[in-house]
Amino acid sequence: MPNDPDIPIPVAFSPAPVPVAEAGVLIDGQVDSEKTAATIIDLAVKGALTIQSNDEHDFRITLLDPSKASTPHEMVLLTGLFEDEPPGAERDLSRPGSLASAHEQMRDSVRNQVAVRGWFRKVPSTAAISSFGLAMIAITLVAALAVGLWIAWARELPRVLLLLIPLLPIIITVAVMRARALKRGQRTAEGRAMCDQV
């Protein structure tokens, strides 16, 4: 019977055709070093470069075929790493800071790409509030409340101000959630659907 509800229906799924860095931005709104490392590995899989590592302190890449880079951010990353050097050029990425400039260039390119694709109403902020910034907000709110209570107590104002103490965690929570929302950006319906598929 074709309408039998107990018939198992096979489901096929293929990953979204999205570069790894863009997929990462869809998920967490950041283009961090993990996305850059994933892009380097993806370029190695495509045959654009090779990766050599003999131990945890050794990480070298060799340019093979820059034409295998298929997205703007991959091209930007290869240019940032190798400039205009020919195939066969090698870079040692095990030194601290050796990837910083290329990473920043790639980050800007990825942010531009997701903006062009229309996946975000508001592209994720690179200037989102850090943990230190959030801590400073919390300290400022606590200090303001403490000073207000001290003044109220000193002037013997109504003790109803003590009711403000339970509001402090709510204010801090709203500030933290707002900062995280800015960091992730605001996805469009298409961006949300693509994020779910990723």
pLDDT at residue 101 greater than cutoff 50: yes
Identity of the residue numbered 48? A
Q: Is the pLDDT of residue 54 over 60?
A: yes
Q: Which residues contact 184 (CB under 8 A, 6 or more apart)?
A: 28, 29, 124
* CA–CA distance, 64 with 87 (Å, rounded to integer): 5
What is the percentage of the chain residues whose pLDDT exceeds 70?
A: 66
Q: Which tens digit of pLDDT belongs to each residue from 4-32?
A: 777 776 666 677 788 999 988 888 888 88
Q: How many CA atoms lie within 13 A of 53 on its CB side?
A: 9
User: Could you read off the pLDDT of 106-125 as tens digits, one per residue?
Assistant: 999 998 898 898 888 877 76
104-113, 125-134, 137-146, 149-158: least confident range: 125-134
Tokens in use for 2? 């074709």
Q: What is the pLDDT of residue 45?
A: 93
Q: Looking at residue 4, what DSSP letter applies?
A: -
pLDDT at 132 (0 to 100): 56
Between 35 and 176, the higher pLDDT residue: 35
**pTM above threshold 0.85:** no
Distances from the Cα of 20 to the Cαs of 23, 43, 63, 73, 169, in angstroms?
5, 10, 20, 11, 37
Q: What is the pLDDT of residue 197?
A: 84
Of the candidates 87, 40, 83, the one whose C-alpha atom is nearest the C-alpha of residue 67 is 87
Q: Which residues pair with 20 in a beta bridge?
A: none
- The answer on pLDDT for 182 being more than 70 is no
Higher pLDDT, 111 or 184: 111
Task: Name, of 127-131, 139-143, 166-170, 186-190, the range with top average pLDDT.
Answer: 186-190
